[in-house]
Structure 1
Amino acid sequence: MTTPRNTPAASRRVRANGDGTVYQRKDGRWEAAGYVLAPGNTSKRVSVYGMTRAEALAKLTEKIAASNRGVPVVTAQGSLAAFLTYWLENVAVHQLRETTHTRYTAVVHQYLIPGLGRKKLAKLTAKDVRTWLNELRTVCQCCARGIDAGRNPNAQTNRRPRCCAIGRCCHKRLSPLTLAYIHSVLKSALEHAVREEEILRNVARNVRTGTPRPRRFNPLTAHEARAFLASAQNHRLHALFELALRTGLRKGEVLGLRWEDLDLDDGTASIRRTLQRTGTGGLTTLPTKTISSERRIALPAACVASLHEHRDRQAREKQQAGAEWADNGLIFTRSDGHPIEPSTLTRHFNALLRCSRLRAIRFHDLRHSTATLLLEQGVELVVIKELLGHAHIGVTATVYAHVRLRLQRDAIDLLGRALRNPLEATGEPDDGDDPPLCAAPVR
C-alpha cells in the first residue's frame, strides 16, 4: 500500500495557498481539508474523504466553490429530534399562538420525533421524508401508538380495550388533512433551520403530498336557519346565537366580545380579541386569529334589538348576584358574570338543535351558514371576505367554491331561458308584434 512516506517526491503535487491539503490516511483513504465560509461570516476548517486522491480533491473543490459563492457550510451535527425540541422551546413559542403551539408540540412528539427523530438534521433527505409519510399513511395509529391498549377497563367510561389490544386491527389511519398538517409542521421547522444556516435547503418542500380534499361542512338552509332562530328566541343566550348566525363570528370571537366593542347607536361591532382555553393560562382572551380577523362589522337591526334586551337581562342578573358578580366587561357571560367556557357553549348549542329538531351540526357551521346564505342572495365575495375576516379573498373563494358553482349553474339556466326561441317557448307562430330578442330585458 502506498503511503505518503514512500511516495516519490516527483509525484507529490504542490497546492497553492487556500486550495487546502490532500493526503492519504493510514487506513488507505484520502483526506482533503481546507477552510470554508461558516455561519456568522467566519471560517471553518472542514475535511472530506474519498477512496482516491481525485475523489477527495473533487469534494473539497466543490465545498470551496460554494464557499466562494457565499454559501456557508452546514454546521448541524445533532439529530432532528434535538433541533425540533430547540425549535419548539426557543422559536415557535414566541411566534405562534399558544393553542397553535400546543398542536405543534403534539405533532412533534407523536409523529415527527418517533418517525424521523434519530436522523441527523444535516443528512435528512427528501427520500427520508417521503418514505416516512408513506409509512405513516398506511399504519394503523391505534396499533402504532397503543391507543386502544391504554384504556383502563375499570374507568367510569366503561370503554374496555378492543381492536388492536385484543389482536384485531381497527385500521385507524390518519386522514389526508392530518398528514398535510404534519407535513406543514416539519416544513416550518426546517425552514427555520435554513434561516439559521443550519442546513442548506428545506428538503420537506421537495416532497409533494397532494392537495387534500377540503373538510366538508353542513351549513343550514334558509328554512333551517329560520327554525333555529325561532327556537332560540326564549334561550338565555338568544342574542349570542343570533349574532353568530347573522354575522358569521367565530366561537371565540363572539365569546370575547365586550360592551366597549359595541356601538349600538351606530349599529357596529369591533372584533379585537378571542376567548379560548389554553393549557397554561386557562380561560383567557387572546388576539384575533390573524391581523385580518381584527375588523369592524355592521350589525343587523335584529341583532341590535336582541343585544339591547340581553343588556337589560344582564343588568338584572348582576343585581341579583350582588358581590358575587365577576365584572369583566364581557357581553356573554354566565349568570354570575364569569366567562362562558367554549365547551359549555357547544353543549347549549347541541341542546338547542335537539329541541328545534334540526340535524346535528358544529357551532362553526353557523359561520359557514352565514357565508352560504349571503352567496345565495348574490352578495359580492369581497363583502363576505371582509365580514368573515379572511386574510385573502382566495380563502373565501376556495372554501365556498361549491356554492359559487351552484350559482353559476343557476345563472347559465337563466341565460338559457333568455336566449330561448319564442317559437319553442309558446308553440305559436310569430306575428311580428313582439320586440326583438336583443331588446328584451335580461335579469
Structure 2
Amino acid sequence: MPTNKTNEGCESYWLTSEKYRRKIKKGYTWSFTIELGRDSSTGKRKQITRRGFKSKKEAELAAHQMTIDVDNETFVNEEKNILFINFITDHLHIIAEPSVKASTFRGYKSAVEKRLIPKFGHMKIKDLSGKMISTYYNELLKEGLTEEFIQYIHAILKNASKTAIDWKYIKNDFMNNVKAPRRQKKNVETWSIEECNTFLNRMRDQKDHIFILYYLAIYTGMRRGELLRIKWKDIDFNKKRIFVQHSLYYISSQGLVLQTPKTHSGKRNISITNEMIGELQSYKVKKQKQLLKVGLKLIEDHFVVSAFGGEPVNPNTIHKQFLYDIKLAEIKRIRFHDLRHTHATIMLEIGENSKMVSERLGHSNVSITLDKYSHVTQNIQDSSAENFSKALGKKSMDQ
C-alpha cells in the first residue's frame, strides 16, 4: 500500500492510499493523518485522520490546509453540540458586557432575550445557516420591525458568530454573506420656530426645571442624557459656554449611571447667547431661593435640571412628561429627541454652516449631519442656486 510522509510547516502528515471495492469497479482512495504531538494530561499521541480523497493531490491539498489551520489555531476538529441559548448567554456576559457601555449592553441583552433566544434558543449553533438568518430577517420585516432594528440584530449575530469561531464551537461562519436589509431613509419630524415659541411660552407656567429642560433642548440641540447630566460647574457664564462631558442613563440593575460619549466628538462645548445666559441665571436664582427655604445652599456640583435639592432627574420619566406637555400646548406631537432635530433643522434653515452645526450636535463627522438633514440642505441648495442666478443676472445688467 503506497505511503508518503511530508513535513511542511509546524506539523507533519502521512498520505496513504487505501484499496476499496465498489459494485462496478475497483480503485484506491487516499487518506492523510496529521501528527499533533502528545496530550499533556495523558501522554498519548494526538492524531487526526481524514479519508476518502479520490486523488493524492486532493489529499495533499486538504492536509496542507489543515496544517495551516492548526498552526493558526483556527482548526476545529469537531463542532460542539452546544445550544444557541447556552452559547449566546455566555457570549453576552463574557464578551459583550465587559466591552460595551452599560446602556448599550442593556439594549443588547434585551434584543437577545426577546428576539434571538425565542427564535434560535432551542437549536445547536452548528446547525445555524445564512439562509435561516436571512429568512428570519424577512419575518421581522413582515412583522413591521424597522430596518434599523434588524441591522442591530444583524450586528449582534455577526459578533456572536465570530465568538463561536474563536471558541472553536463551529467551523464555518453562519453569518458569512448574510446581509441585513438596507435602512430606509425617514423624514425627520421637527417643529417650526413658531411651534417652538408656542410650546416654550406655554411651559413657562410649568415647573421651573421642566421649562429649562425644554428650553436647553431646543436652544442647544443636546441629547436627553446630556441635558440631564449638566451641572452648574459645566456652565461658564463668562465665556458663554456649556461643556458636555457625560450623559446620564438609567440602568434597571444599577440605577442612574454616568457614561462618557461614544465618540471623541461627543465631548464638546456649546456656545450660548446672552439671552440664554439670562434664562439660566434667572432659573438659578429661583433654585437658590427654593433650597434656602429648607436650609440648603445651591452648589456648583448640583445638577441644573433637578426637581429639588440638586439631585438628577430620571431620564425614563422624560418621555411621558413630554407627551403630556405637548398635549397641554396643543401642538404637533413629536418625540423628545426630535427637539434635537428641530434645533439642527432651524440652524441650517437660517444659513448656519453645516460644519458648525455638526460640531454643536457632537457628530463625529459632518457627513452624518449632511445625510441626516439632507432634506434641509437640498432646500438650501435650491435657494442658493436662485440667489446665485439673481446675483449674476443683476451684475450683467449693471454692466
Q: Cα distance 1:24–1:322, how it changes in 2: closer, same or farther (>3 A)?
A: farther
2:269 match: secondary structure: strand
Is the Cα contact below 8 Å between 2:2 and 2:17 reproduced in 1? no
Residue range with higher mean Cα deviation, 72-81 or 83-92:
72-81
Q: Which residue of 1 aligns with 2:40?
A: none
Paired letter, 1:181: Y
Contact 2:3 2:14 in 1 (8 A): no
Give how far 1:287 is off: 2.0
Q: How does 1:161-200 map to 2 (within 5 A)?
A: 172-193=143-164
- SS in structure 1 of the partner of residue 264 of structure 2: coil
Kindly tell me: are residues 36 and 201 of structure 1, through their superposed partners in 2, closer, same or farther at Cα, counting changes over 3 Å? farther
Q: What TM-score does the superposition give when structure 2 sets the normalisation length?
A: 0.81
CA–CA distance in 2 between the matches of 1:190 and 1:370?
Answer: 40
CA–CA separation in structure 1 for the residues paired with 2:366 and 2:166: 29
TM superposition shift of 1:52: 5.3
Compared CA separation, residues 319 and 304, structure 1 to 2 (3 A): same
Q: 2:177 maps to which residue?
A: 206
Shift of 1:309: 1.0
Unaligned runs of 5+ in 2: 23-28, 38-44
Query: 2:32 maps to what in 1?
Result: 32
Aligned pair partner of 1:319 in 281, 292, 296: 292
> CA-atom RMSD, angstroms?
3.6
Decide whether aligned partners of structure 1 residues 402 and 188 sit closer, same or farther in structure 2, where only a CA change above 3 A counts: farther
Q: Point out where structure 1 has 5 or more consecutive residues left out of the alignment.
A: 1-10, 38-42, 139-171, 423-434
Q: Does 1:77 align with 2:50?
A: no
Match for 2:3: what amino acid? R
User: Once the 2 structures are TM-superposed, how far is the Cα of residue 352 of structure 1 from its aligned partner?
Assistant: 2.8
Aligned match for 2:13, one of 19, 25, 30: 19
Structure 1 range deviating more: 339-348 or 325-334: 325-334
Where do residues 273-288 of structure 1 align in structure 2 (5 Å cutoff)? 273-288=246-261
- Count the aligned residue pairs: 378
Q: Which residue of 2 aligns with 1:295?
A: 268
Question: Separation in 1 of the partners of 2:283 and 2:47?
Answer: 72
* 1:390 pairs with 2:363: yes
How far residue 215 of structure 1 moved from its aligned partner, in angstroms, is: 4.1
Distance 1:13 1:218 in 2: 74
Is the contact made by 2:304 and 2:310 (CA closer than 8 Å) also made in structure 1? no
Match of 2:41 in 1: none
In structure 2, how many angstroms separate the alpha carbons of the residues matched to 1:68 and 1:92?
Answer: 27
User: Which deviates the most, 324-333 or 283-292?
Assistant: 324-333
**Which shifted more, 58-67 or 297-306?**
58-67
**Could you tell me how far 1:225 is from its partner in structure 2?**
1.7
Contact 1:22 1:53 in 2 (8 A): no
Amino acid of the structure 2 residue aligned with 1:226: N
Identity %: 23
Structure 1 pair 410–49 and aligned structure 2 pair: CA distance change class (3 A): farther
Q: How do 1:141-152 and structure 2 match up within 5 A?
A: none
Structure 1 counterpart of 2:232: 259
Amino acid across the alignment from 1:99:
S
Distance 1:93 1:326 in 2: 35
Normalising by the residue count of structure 1, what TM-score does the alignment of the two structures yield? Answer: 0.74
Q: Check conservation: 1:278, 1:284, Cα contact below 8 A.
A: yes
- Is the contact made by 2:349 and 2:380 (CA closer than 8 Å) also made in structure 1? yes
Which secondary structure state, in structure 2, belongs to the residue aligned with residue 292 of structure 1?
helix
**Corresponding residue SS for 2:238:** coil
Structure 1 SS opposite 2:13: coil
In the alignment, which residue of structure 2 is the partner of 1:436? 396
Letter in 1 for 2:396: P
User: Which residue of structure 2 lines up, in the alignment, with residue 218 of structure 1?
Assistant: 189
Pick from 238, 244, 250: which aligns with 1:271?
A: 244
Quote the residue 2:99 is aligned against. Answer: 95
- Residue 132 (structure 1) aligned with residue 105 (structure 2): no
Q: Is the 8 A contact 2:126 2:169 kept in 1?
A: yes
- Paired AA for residue 224 in structure 1: E
- Cα 1:324–1:316, aligned 2, differ >3 Å: closer, same or farther? closer
Equivalent in 296, 299, 304 of residue 331 of structure 1? 304
- 8 Å CA contact 1:275–1:286 kept in 2: the answer is yes
Give 1:116 deviation, angstroms: 3.8
Moved more, 212-221 or 77-86: 77-86
Partner residue in 2 for 1:60 = 62
What is the CA–CA distance in structure 1 between the aligned matches of 2:59 and 2:329, rounded to whole Å? 79
Task: Kindly indicate whether the alpha-carbon contact (under 8 Å) linking 2:249 and 2:315 is maintained by their aligned counterparts in 1.
Answer: yes
> Do the aligned partners of 1:326 and 1:338 also contact (CA within 8 Å) in 2?
no
